[in-house]
Amino acid sequence: MLTIGDLAKTTGVKVPTIRYYEQMGLLSHAERSEGNQRRYSRSQRDRLSFIKHARELGLTIEAIRELIDLSQHPEKPCAEADRIAAEQLATVRQKIAKLKKLEAELERISTHCHSNHVRDCYVIRALANHDLCETDHD
Amino acid sequence: MLTIGDLAKTTGVKVPTIRYYEQMGLLSHAERSEGNQRRYSRSQRDRLSFIKHARELGLTIEAIRELIDLSQHPEKPCAEADRIAAEQLATVRQKIAKLKKLEAELERISTHCHSNHVRDCYVIRALANHDLCETDHD
DNA sequence: CTAAAACCTCTAGCGGCTTTAGCTGCAAGA
DNA sequence: TCTTGCAGCTAAAGCCGCTAGAGGTTTTAG
């Protein structure tokens, strides 16, 4: 049996975060020692790794909950899991597209200023005046 | 003089958000009508546009506060403003890099599953087992 | 003059944690 | 055996950048 600290070390998830996941229902309530400390099994460690991986991919707690529920029912069709992954992919792509626009404008702004004083600073003028933008980025 | 609603319409910033910015010290306390309603000048509208543009570019409230403080001192060197823009550019690039890794992995995961049941679902197996990943994405 | 729209303040909520305060548990060294 | 000090516990508050709601007041159009 692993203590919460062991679990934190082996998975790379911080101790308070593990407790938070338990509270959110992603991890089932752990067994307790006589002194009321949490004790974990290997399968709970595996589940935590699952959660960590999913979080790294940007899935929400809610989406992860759905995936965990699904994984408890191996007979069900996996269309739902596919949908969750596909939606997350779409979300990530949207974010990339948006950030690329920002990158372009920020690059233009920050390479443009060869002034020495705030009065003529292109950074500040560009922020004050949206018309100086080349792309839309609303 | 503009009401807060006028300001919201012309800048595209929602009314409660304007009040929030005032509370955060980005907008100075507006003058008030006899009935205690906010009244804005054109220069305050310009400042709000500045704030909006900066937020669209992803700058934090704190960074915007610094920029506003700077813009009040036209004689100062603008190196600080350049630094803020450059830092934001670096942040945006990091985010893009990270999201691209996620995109690659999500794409691989979600195009890989041709199973019908959760038991064999690649999405779920991939999430359970980080070893199936091709790239690091911590 | 009235009704509706816009405004006001204050408070709470969102997600995904992190931090803090004030405890108790437990193992190792003196 | 005692103590030291890390690890664990719970409950609550804080973070960011808003957004939403309750319950009241002011302004404006007709």
Per-residue pLDDT reduced to its tens digit, B35-60: 999 999 999 999 999 999 999 999 99
CA dihedral A59, A63, A68, A74 (to 10 degrees): -110
pLDDT of residue B12: 95
The residues close to strand C, meaning Cβ under 7 A, are A 14, 16-17, 20, 33-37, 55, 60-62; B 3-6, 8, 15-16, 19, 36-38
Residue type, B35: G
Given an 8 Å threshold on Cβ–Cβ distance, is B96 in contact with A86? Answer: no
Contact status, residue A44 vs residue A23, Cβ threshold 8 Å: no
A89, A110, A123 member nearest B110 (Cβ): A89
CA of B59 to C1' of C5 (A): 35
Residue B114 CA distance to nucleotide D15 C1' (Å): 42
CA A95 to chain CA centroid, Å, is: 13
- pLDDT tens per residue across all 138 residues of chain A: 999 999 999 999 999 999 999 999 999 999 999 999 999 999 999 999 999 999 999 999 999 999 999 888 888 888 889 999 999 999 999 999 999 999 998 998 888 878 788 888 888 888 777 666 655 655
What is the per-residue pLDDT for A48? 96
User: Of A130, A138, A127, nearest to B70 (Cα)?
Assistant: A127
CB contact under 8 A, B56 and A99: no
Q: What pLDDT score was predicted for residue B126? A: 82
Query: What pLDDT was estimated at residue B99?
Result: 94
Confidence (pLDDT) at B118: 84
Tell me which residue of B44, B43, B45, B63 sits closest to B55, measured CA to CA: B63
Q: What is the pLDDT of residue A135?
A: 59
Low-confidence ranges of chain B (pLDDT < 50): none
